[in-house]
Amino acid sequence: MKTALITGASDGIGEQAAIALKDLGWQVAIIGRNKARTEAVARRLNAPHYLADFAKLSEVKALGAQLLRDFPRIDVLANNAGGMFSKQPLTEDGFEMTFQVNHLAHFLLTRMLMPTLITSRASVINTSSVAHKSIGLLFKLDDVAKPKHYSQHLAYGNAKLANILFTKELHRRYHAQGLNAAAFHPGVVASSFAKDTNSFMRLLYHTGLKRAPGVITPKEGAQTLVWLATNAPGVSWRSGGYYAKQRPAKTTRKAQDEALAKALWEMSEQLIAPYLEERTQ
Ligand SMILES: NC(=O)c1ccc[n+]([C@@H]2O[C@H](COP(=O)([O-])OP(=O)(O)OC[C@H]3O[C@@H](n4cnc5c(N)ncnc54)[C@H](OP(=O)(O)O)[C@@H]3O)[C@@H](O)[C@H]2O)c1
């Protein structure tokens, strides 16, 4: 039986991916933040569940340690939790909220799970967004973790660009050891996305506009994640790549910048170092 750990599985795309994989006979671990929602999905799927607020790296660290203990084999790690936030620009760890929840927390989780991911020859699937193209263009490494000029839209574009750069560098560093990685855009999905913002995006996702042509259901939005999870890397998809609608998709020049991917990795390593060090004490 194959095993998938899915973050952001308490709602939207992650929940639907968990349902689809469970229907295909997989073991799935439901990882969420909201207790009631996470427990409800887990109960419905008869699956184990885990709670962590990714705005608190101490909780991500505890989650990683628990998952390492509970899962000797991981076929898929779906780093899917995320979204756009405007109410609290900095986390308790002192990093920009969108950057931490979408990227840095998943970076820490993936780094902690790496021994098992490698022995399992796992796929790491990162939920990015087409927003990396439109509002990730101003990405500057020294301005993503603690931005001087905060904008929720820029922060979201930056974070989703970080998902793609992380994917590329994961591939470069670990593919030779058997790991595969992909990033994908799920589509414009009528989920709970943007519920915590005062952005115009809230209008699109939480009014009648969500029934506009081109806006898809969370079940449809989960399809590329499920496709990446269930199809063989190296055969159906290429590790290190970016996908949409179950095929390779175009990215920006910035998203293909190998030096930027390496620099983001090194910066992320430094930012999470205190959490990894504490673990070994
Ligand atoms: N919807 C779209 O059109 C769209 C387009 C492109 C990319 N995406 C990406 O798709 C992914 C899933 O979003 P969605 O559309 O399914 O939205 P959603 O329905 O709002 O689901 C978001 C998930 O992320 C979790 N999450 C949010 N903040 C968290 C935190 N601080 N700590 C831990 N978990 C947290 C939520 O957990 P709780 O419910 O337990 O709080 C929920 O399970 C996100 O990465 C998003 O950026 C969405």
Domain that holds residue 164: 3-190+218-280
Split at pLDDT 50, 70, 90, the class of 114 is very high
**Count: domains in the chain:** 1
Burial label for 246, CB within 10 Å (0-12, 13-18, 19+), is middle
Q: What's residue 23's pLDDT? A: 98
- Is 128 domain-assigned? yes
If you average pLDDT over residues 64-89, what whole number do you get? 93
Ligand 1 pocket, residue 50 CB under 6 Å: no
CATH code of 136's domain? 3.40.50.720
Q: What is the pLDDT of residue 148?
A: 84
pTM summary value: 0.96
Q: Which of 49, 193, 245 to mutate to test the pocket of ligand 1 (most atoms within 8 A of CB)?
A: 193
Q: What is the pLDDT of residues 163-190, one digit of tens each?
A: 999 999 999 999 999 999 999 999 999 9
Instruction: Look at 151-155, 203-207, 219-223 and tell me which has the smallest mean pLDDT.
Output: 203-207
Question: What is the reported pLDDT for 89?
Answer: 82
Pocket test for ligand 1, best of 87, 125, 191 (most atoms within 8 A of CB): 191
Is residue 58 domain-resident? yes
Please indicate, yes or no, if residue 144 is contained in any of the structural domains. yes
Residue 200's pLDDT band, with cuts at 50, 70 and 90, is confident
In a domain, 53, yes or no: yes
Tokens of 176: 């030779």
By the 8 A CB rule, do 128 and 148 touch?
A: no
* 184-200 as b/e: b if 16+ CB within 10 A: bbbbbbbbbbbebbebe
* Beta strand spans in 132-197 (E): 180-185, 188-189
Query: Given this model, what pLDDT does residue 281 score?
Result: 43
**199, part of any domain:** no
Distance 80 CA to ligand 1 centre (A): 7
pLDDT band of residue 278 (cuts 50, 70, 90) is: low
Among the listed residues 222, 158, 159, the one whose alpha carbon sits nearest the alpha carbon of residue 185: 222
* Region 116-123 average pLDDT: 98
Decide: 12 and 33 in contact? Cβ < 8 Å: no
Q: What value does the mean pLDDT of the chain take?
A: 93
Residue 182 located in a structural domain: yes
Atom in ligand 1 nearest the alpha carbon of residue 189: 3
State the closest ligand 1 atom to the C-alpha of 188, by its place in the atom list counted from 1: 3
Is 195 inside any structural domain?
A: no
Residue 43 inside a domain? The answer is: yes
Q: How far is the CA of 251 from the centre of ligand 1 (A)?
A: 21
State mean pLDDT over 106-129. 98
Report whether pLDDT(246) > 80: yes
Characterize the bridge pairing of strands 241-244 and 247-248. Answer: antiparallel
Distance 280 CA to ligand 1 centre (A): 31
Annotation marks residue 156 as catalytic: yes
Catalytic residue among 156, 205, 243, 275: 156
Q: What is the pLDDT of residue 87?
A: 67
* Mean pLDDT within 257-264: 97
- Centre of ligand 1 to C-alpha 90, Å, is 18
191 Cβ below 6 A of ligand 1: yes
